[in-house]
């Protein structure tokens, strides 16, 4: 049997497997892994007994080409439990004929030392007391905190107070929403934050682009993981929070907060398949649904009733579901209304909310700038998700309308996601308007939605700029190109993404896109190749004609592209 340990890491919060922090190994396995898993489990149990953690649990997940091996652990010994997991793995690998047997006379004393050095009884005491008092608890390698927002108390992990010295009555929480999904989560988060602000709250948000409280930008970068969540919740001026929760962070570390008041899944489609043993959309769906683990019984899980995979998986869960849909006659919507539950839907141009038997007409799509008069259907769906979250949090309809009206969806409040520009130009003796759309569409599902929008915009010529990172499967790139060709581009600019080859040779992805585009009927004469998105953007703008619609898929060098536009 051929084995390779591909990753060993901590899961610091609720995760794909269960609600416990854990140590996890991901491994590539050629052949049936059942004997390996059995040997691993036996070794884990004996090692846990040896180091005094016999009550910890194990589980595993077998996937195509590999296996994940998981051990629960108290939060103060997660690093040591990773070491124990690796020793158990090496023993199991030896037992199935794939490696040398570790010297347990050396390894067990070493593990004892590691656990002894890492233990932090005050940390566990603080965690236990926080649960008893119903107080938010956050921890990481650098800080431990109680409460959210203005009531937050924070200490270094090696300087924790006695639980008797804390005024527990002074520590509070704030309303928190989680948003995940394959596409639309960033826009939904920012729409929700705008609604929170319109309701009079100083709204905090995390996203793949920045972390912010009100108008105060704390930092730029990808803060859609556990670190961003904890940083935001410790800000003293945040009064209500909405967190973007990305697939990578969920699988790498688990949830960044223990509890949220509402969680939403915008959709689940093929993207980043092959990472962490997630090889299909069917396997990706449970990963996105990790956010449900932050909800207490009865708290709403907001779901897209237009996504068949989401609907099917939701039927297996004992959760309270708040559905949203672009179709008022969707079966899930009608069922929710009949059961006096919560549903949000589009009907006659208006976004409606139906709660506990009462229908509320919230806002017309014409009054939501990000939908561009209803042309951008995917932003209507995102707005419905944001409305669902706001309704669940008890925000007024007036504030919802004001927040959605304030959210322009432009390069300022939603950079690189459905940003529209218009320029009047004169060229070749003709005068007219050039429309430019800058978007982040990077997978088949998102590209199909974007293509639907582009087909709804009158233009003399469609100019499309696209590229892709090298860590996608050939099939996924082909599906992306096929969806992009649904825009019926008159000219296709293919850009290399320098630094994003991710295991492929330079220009290999560019050539692959070219081949797939030709297969889809794009003439060779209509295709040009460029060494970077910025170079391709400059050419598209230089060659623009009145009546053009230029679609820039800005996956990298987004700020440079926006500056040029």
Report yes or no on whether pTM surpasses 0.85. Answer: yes
Strand ranges for 87-232 from DSSP E: 137-139, 144-146, 153-155, 176-180, 203-206, 210-213, 216-220
Helix (H) or strand (E) holding 38: helix 34-51
Task: For residues 553 and 355, give the distance between their C-alpha atoms in angstroms, rounded to a whole number.
Answer: 38
Q: What is the 8-class DSSP label of residue 60?
A: E
Chain mean position to CA 540? 31
Per-position DSSP letters for 452-476, written without gaps between them: HHHHTS--SEEEEEE---TTS-HHH
> Cβ(539)–Cβ(527) under 8 Å?
no
pLDDT > 90 fraction of the chain, expressed in percent and rounded: 82
Is residue 409 predicted with pLDDT exceeding 80?
no
Question: What's the whole-number mean pLDDT along residues 508-514?
Answer: 95
3-state secondary structure 103-127: CHHHHHHHHHHHHHHHCCHHHHHHH
> Cβ(352)–Cβ(344) under 8 Å?
yes
pLDDT digits (tens, 9 = 90+) for 332-344: 999 999 999 999 9
Task: For residues 370 and 50, give the distance between their C-alpha atoms in angstroms, rounded to a whole number.
Answer: 59
Task: For residues 242 and 442, give the distance between their C-alpha atoms in angstroms, rounded to a whole number.
Answer: 24
Task: For residues 286 and 297, give the distance between their C-alpha atoms in angstroms, rounded to a whole number.
Answer: 18
More confident residue, 208 or 404: 404
Partners of residue 62 on adjacent β-strands: 67
pLDDT digits (tens, 9 = 90+) for 363-386: 999 999 999 999 899 999 999 999
Is residue 557 predicted with pLDDT exceeding 70?
no
Task: For residues 91 and 39, give the distance between their C-alpha atoms in angstroms, rounded to a whole number.
Answer: 8
Q: What is the 8-class DSSP label of residue 412?
A: T
Query: What are the phi and psi torsion angles at 473 (to 5°)?
Result: -70, 155
What pairing do the DSSP bridges indicate for beta strands 240-244 and 176-180? parallel
pLDDT digits (tens, 9 = 90+) for 163-203: 999 999 999 999 999 999 998 999 999 999 999 999 999 99
What 3-state DSSP class applies to 22? Answer: strand
Confidence of residue 406 (pLDDT cuts 50, 70, 90): very high
Angle at 183 between CA 180 and CA 188, to 5 degrees: 60
pLDDT value at position 275? 84
More confident residue, 402 or 442: 402
Instruction: For the beta carbon of residue 120, count every other beta carbon within 10 angstroms.
Output: 18
Task: For residues 62 and 33, give the distance between their C-alpha atoms in angstroms, rounded to a whole number.
Answer: 8
Spatial neighbors of 412 by CB under 8 A, at least 6 apart, are none
Is residue 327 predicted with pLDDT exceeding 90?
yes
Task: For residues 281 and 274, give the distance between their C-alpha atoms in angstroms, rounded to a whole number.
Answer: 10
Task: For residues 57 and 44, give the distance between their C-alpha atoms in angstroms, rounded to a whole number.
Answer: 9
**Mean pLDDT estimate for the chain:** 94
């Amino acid at each position: 049997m051929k084995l390779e340990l591909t990753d060993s890491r901590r899961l610091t919060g609720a995760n794909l497997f269960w609600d416990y922090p854990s140590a996890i190994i991901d491994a590539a396995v050629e052949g049936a892994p059942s004997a390996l898993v059995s040997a691993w489990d036996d070794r884990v149990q004996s090692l846990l007994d040896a180091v005094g953690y016999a009550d910890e649990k194990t589980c595993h997940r077998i996937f195509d080409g590999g296996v994940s091996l998981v051990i629960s652990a108290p939060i103060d010994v997660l690093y040591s439990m990773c070491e124990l997991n690796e020793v158990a793995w090496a023993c199991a690998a030896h037992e199935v004929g794939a490696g040398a047997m570790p010297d347990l006379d050396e390894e067990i004393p070493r593990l004892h030392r590691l656990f002894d050095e890492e233990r932090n009884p005050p940390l566990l005491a603080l965690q236990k007391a926080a649960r008893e008092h119903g107080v938010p608890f956050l921890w990481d390698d650098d800080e431990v905190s109680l409460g959210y927002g203005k009531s937050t108390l924070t200490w270094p992990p090696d300087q924790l107070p006695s639980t008797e010295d804390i005024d527990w009555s002074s520590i509070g929480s704030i309303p928190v929403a989680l948003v995940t999904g394959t596409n639309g989560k960033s826009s939904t988060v920012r729409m929700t934050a705008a609604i929170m602000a319109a309701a009079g709250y100083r709204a905090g948000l995390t996203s793949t682009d920045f972390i912010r409280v009100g108008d105060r930008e704390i930092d730029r970068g990808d803060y859609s993981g556990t670190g961003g969540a904890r940083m935001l919740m410790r800000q003293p001026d945040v009064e209500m929070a909405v967190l973007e929760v990305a697939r990578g962070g969920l699988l790498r570390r688990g949830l960044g907060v223990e509890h949220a008041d509402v969680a939403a899944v915008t959709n689940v489609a093929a993207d980043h398949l092959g990472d962490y043993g997630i090889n299909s959309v069917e396997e990706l769906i449970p990963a996105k649904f990790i956010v449900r683990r932050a909800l207490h019984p009865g708290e709403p899980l907001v779901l897209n009733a237009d996504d068949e995979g989401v609907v099917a998986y939701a039927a297996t869960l004992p959760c309270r579901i708040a559905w949203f849909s672009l179709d008022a006659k969707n079966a899930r919507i009608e069922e929710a209304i009949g059961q006096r539950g919560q549903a949000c839907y589009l009907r006659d141009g208006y976004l409606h909310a139906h709660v506990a038997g009462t229908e509320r007409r919230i806002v017309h799509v014409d009054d939501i700038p990000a939908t561009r008069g209803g042309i951008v259907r995917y932003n209507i769906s995102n707005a419905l998700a944001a409305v669902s979250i706001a309704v669940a949090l008890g925000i007024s309809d007036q504030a919802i309308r004001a927040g959605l009206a304030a959210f322009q969806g432009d390069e300022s409040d939603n950079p690189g996601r459905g940003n529209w520009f218009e320029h009047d130009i004169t060229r070749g003796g003709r005068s007219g308007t050039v429309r430019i759309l800058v978007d982040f569409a990077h997978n088949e599902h998102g590209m199909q939605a974007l293509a639907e929008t582009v087909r709804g915009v009158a233009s003399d010529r469609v100019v499309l700029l696209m590229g892709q990172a090298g860590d996608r499967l050939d099939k996924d790139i082909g599906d992306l190109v096929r969806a992009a060709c649904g825009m019926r581009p008159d000219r296709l600019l293919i850009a290399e993404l320098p630094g994003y080859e991710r295991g492929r040779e330079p220009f290999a992805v560019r050539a692959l896109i070219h081949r797939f585009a030709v297969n889809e009927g794009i003439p060779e004469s209509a295709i040009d190749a460029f060494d970077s998105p910025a170079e391709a953007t400059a050419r598209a703008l230089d060659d623009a004609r009145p009546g053009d619609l230029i679609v820039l898929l800005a996956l990298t060098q987004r700020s440079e592209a926006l500056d040029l536009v």
